[in-house]
Amino acid sequence: IEKAIERGANPNAKDELSVIRRYDGMVPGSNGKVAVIIETLTENKNRTAANVRHLVTKIGGELLPTGANDWLFEHVGVVCVSRNKHTNEEENATGEPVDEDELLECALDGGATDVDFGADEDQDTSNAEVDSIDNPIVIKCETSGILRLVQSLKTDGYVSSQFDNQWLVRSDDNKVILNEEGSDKFEKFLDSMDEDLDVTNVYHNATFPEEVS
């Protein structure tokens, strides 16, 4: 279990020779530039740096010194918890809905800094099992405390469907809204990053047209 938790905190681990590298950059958006943080795992730093620079400059962007985008993002541990607890008798069975007060207490004891239960209108009460998976409770913590938090939640019967460290946009005011043309161009950029085997994550502050209410 402990090894599985460690893999969850670093799911893209290759081997002992690989190193994690981060690249900050700015790429064109519809109105202004989109900030990106690109995380990689590589055994060849020169190759990865050249590939990332090529993909960024190809669309008219530029790489910045590492840490340049810290003012736009916060690095936090993120744990997604099922809205149903599992029973001891049937580990894979859907249990009773979680008690929010009890989960909040457990999460805070485990080192959580924020617990987001979501808005009531976001929950699909007609199908609790589907809602438990597609609309989880999101818990944040310090990056160094994510394993402790996951273990604490597991001990009390809470199911962590996903957990890792992420770069999240600090404020909605820092987001850049894309139009249709800008959205298509940026999606192609994300696709090119996804095709690079060394790139593990790309975080950005872009908002796509379909995400605007």
β pairing state of 137-141 and 112-116: antiparallel
β pairing state of 176-177 and 206-207: parallel
d(CA 155, CA 61): 46
d(CA 40, CA 51): 11
pLDDT for residue 13 is more than 60: no
Closest CA to 152 of 3, 5, 11: 5
33-41: average pLDDT: 97
β pairing state of 137-141 and 160-169: unpaired
- Segment 52-70, tens digit of pLDDT: 999 999 999 999 999 999 9
pLDDT for residue 130 is more than 50: no
